[in-house]
Amino acid sequence: MLVYGADGFKMARISTREQILQEADQLFYEGGFEGTSFADIAAAVGISRGNFYYHFKTKDEILDGVISRRMEATRAMLDAWAAENDSPAERIVSFIRILIDNRTKIMDFGCPVGTLSSELAKLDHAAQERAADIFGLFRDWLAGQFRALGQEERADELALHLLGRSQGVAVMATAFRDESFVRSEVDALEARVQALCLAPSNHQPEEN
Amino acid sequence: MLVYGADGFKMARISTREQILQEADQLFYEGGFEGTSFADIAAAVGISRGNFYYHFKTKDEILDGVISRRMEATRAMLDAWAAENDSPAERIVSFIRILIDNRTKIMDFGCPVGTLSSELAKLDHAAQERAADIFGLFRDWLAGQFRALGQEERADELALHLLGRSQGVAVMATAFRDESFVRSEVDALEARVQALCLAPSNHQPEEN
DNA sequence: GACATATTAGGGCATTTGTCCTAATCATGC
DNA sequence: GCATGATTAGGACAAATGCCCTAATATGTC
């Protein structure tokens, strides 16, 4: 699907395949995997359902592509956070802040990673593990930052803990549509990182 | 659907309607609301799809019934915890322990309350609020226990926080199928309750 | 301009979905 | 043992589902 600009010249454009993945990504997030049909995606892209089959033979193939896309986007985001911040504490805060930045969508649809993982688990879908691998990217990256903070022993534990905390915030934000809860939890998490920074003992007190 | 015992006498039996709700409850949990069809439920109960319509006109009606059932079951569970334990701290620990008791199912299907709430949010389903009301039962009950612990001011905040923490644990347990993470988080949460008990200051340190 | 390939539209397929109707069967009180 | 209402089975319905085929069109190369 090539698009021509006003001047009549061909414009560099994303491929139809990429457009499909883009729309599917969003639809899967906002409506769920099962809740999104071939027709929904085709309509969103603006192509016929037949054309669809040329690019993806099954719905699972689209899911696979969407997960790959999300992994790539996640890697890019983590790299950007690493580049933008000099200290590991600031980097971890960047992670925590996605709860604030995406609060509106989170209150409407939850966390894209967590909800997909949960849905695929229920469907007993083979791609559940790949979906969980996105969590793995965050986990490893966060563990690296905690290690840089001097938490050698507990780096992975802290990473898992923080991931879980943010998932809990997302679920509750969706259930109660409560923005203030998101903010207070984010504040608590940020304070915790700062405290870890100042007193990297083994048993770190936390403000609640 | 009446059932006869070995002696030929009619047995007091749960109604077909109740059987439908029972199976639907389980199927909705293990396969999701959208992932479960009329036919699935009818097959599980062992009745024809036609008979189904006599008891529930629409799928949403079944969902409504399932949510009501879950609310009733939740109330009963909370009452039991209150009756079984004398101290508010022990009652809160009873709540935390469901993560341990149901760890296998949680690793397979997540938390029944959280996953239903998230799915209905994505489907933009009218029953999402009612699903969240189940969270409300836990929230109010937990807040009551924290109040009894002397946390007048922060009772609701602590209740929401604990609810969120347990949701986070459930999501991560499902994603990574990691039982040890569940246990360590549960230990941390229990330690936190004990600490609150001993030193009910406004800013309570927490072990991590 | 001719050609091979890449891409697209349109429709069709069997199956499943939620919903609904009708006729048969059951239980129960008279 | 009969009448009445409650319950059930079985099937029908249109719409939607995931999947697939074919013919047409566009694209890039020689």
| pLDDT reported for residue A13 | 62
In which domain, by residue range, is A139 found? 67-198
Model confidence at B6: pLDDT above 60? no
Residue A208 belongs to a domain = no
Using CA of residue B164, residue B169, residue B172, residue B173, what is the dihedral sign? negative
| pLDDT reported for residue A198 | 80
Contact B172, B162 (CB under 8 A): no
Q: Is the same domain home to A100 and A185?
A: yes
Strand partners, A10: A4
Cβ of A160 and B172 within 8 Å?
yes
CA dihedral B4, B10, B15, B19 (to 10 degrees): -20
Tens place of pLDDT per residue across chain A (208 aa): 544 444 434 444 678 899 999 999 999 999 999 999 999 999 999 998 889 889 999 999 999 999 999 999 999 999 999 999 999 999 999 999 999 999 999 999 999 999 999 999 999 999 999 999 999 999 999 999 999 999 999 999 999 999 999 999 999 999 999 999 999 999 999 999 999 888 655 555 454 4
From first CA to last CA, the distance across chain B in angstroms is: 53
Give the max Cα distance, chain A.
Answer: 66
Q: Is the same domain home to A50 and A84?
A: no
Q: How far is B193 from chain A (nearest CA, A)?
A: 12
Residues in contact with B21: Cβ distance below 8 Å, sequence separation at least 6, in sequence order: B62, B65, B66, B69
pLDDT in tens, B148-175: 999 999 999 999 999 999 999 999 999 9
Q: Is the same domain home to B171 and B124?
A: yes
Residue B83 belongs to a domain = yes
The H or E element spanning position A136 is helix A128-148
Q: Is the same domain home to A142 and A167?
A: yes
Query: What is the phi/psi pair of residue B4, to 5°?
Result: -105, 140
| pLDDT reported for residue B4 | 45
CATH, residue A37: 1.10.10.60
| pLDDT reported for residue A67 | 98
Model confidence at B10: pLDDT above 50? no
Q: Is the same domain home to B43 and B112?
A: no
Q: What is the pTM of this model?
A: 0.91
Q: Is the same domain home to A38 and A140?
A: no
Place of tokens 């534990």: A157
A51 CA to D22 C1' in angstroms comes to: 12
Query: CA-to-CA distance for B193 and B101, rounded, in angstroms?
Result: 19
Model confidence at B5: pLDDT above 70? no
Mean pLDDT of chain B: 91
The H or E element spanning position A10 is none
Angle at B112 between CA B147 and CA B81, to 5 degrees: 35
**B47: three-class secondary structure by DSSP:** coil
Query: CA-to-CA distance for B163 and A15, rounded, in angstroms?
Result: 44
Chain B residues 17-56 within an 8 A CB cutoff of chain A: 30-32, 34-35
Query: CA-to-CA distance for B129 and B125, rounded, in angstroms?
Result: 9
Place of tokens 């802040």: A97
Q: Which nucleotides of D are covered by protein (CB under 7 A)?
A: 7-12, 16-22, 26-28
Q: Is the same domain home to A167 and A80?
A: yes
Angle at A135 between CA A131 and CA A141, to 5 degrees: 140
Q: Is the same domain home to B122 and B189?
A: yes
For residue A15, what are its two tokens?
């491929």
Residue from B167, B178, B189, B202 to probe the interface with A (highest A Cβ count within 10 Å): B167
Contact B122, A115 (CB under 8 A): yes
How sure is the predictor about B14, in pLDDT bands with cuts at 50, 70 and 90? confident
Chain B residues 163-182 within an 8 A CB cutoff of chain A: 163-169, 171-172, 174-176, 178, 181
Q: Is the same domain home to A84 and A131?
A: yes
Model confidence at B198: pLDDT above 90? no
| pLDDT reported for residue A11 | 46
Average pLDDT over residues B55-61: 95
Alpha helices in B102-204 (DSSP H): 103-109, 112-122, 128-148, 155-176, 179-198
- List residues, Cβ < 7 Å, touching strand D: A 2, 10, 36-40, 49-50, 52-54, 57-60; B 1, 15-16, 46-51, 53-55
A53, A164, B36, B131, B176 from A109: Cα distances, Å: 28, 17, 21, 15, 21
Looking at the structure of chain B, the number of domains it has is 2
Contact A181, A165 (CB under 8 A): no
Model confidence at B20: pLDDT above 70? yes
Check if B161 contacts A (Cβ < 8 Å). Answer: yes
How sure is the predictor about B177, in pLDDT bands with cuts at 50, 70 and 90? very high
Q: Is the same domain home to A80 and A50?
A: no
State the CB neighbour count (10 A cutoff) for residue B7. 7
| pLDDT reported for residue A200 | 56
Q: Is the same domain home to B32 and B126?
A: no
Residue B208 belongs to a domain = no
A12, A114, B59, B112 from B63: Cα distances, Å: 49, 23, 6, 13
CA A161, chain centre distance (Å): 17
Q: What does the radius of gyration of chain B's CA atoms come to, in whole angstroms? A: 20
A29, A31, A53, A65, B186 from A57: Cα distances, Å: 21, 21, 5, 12, 44
Residue B126 belongs to a domain = yes
Q: Is the same domain home to B83 and B176?
A: yes
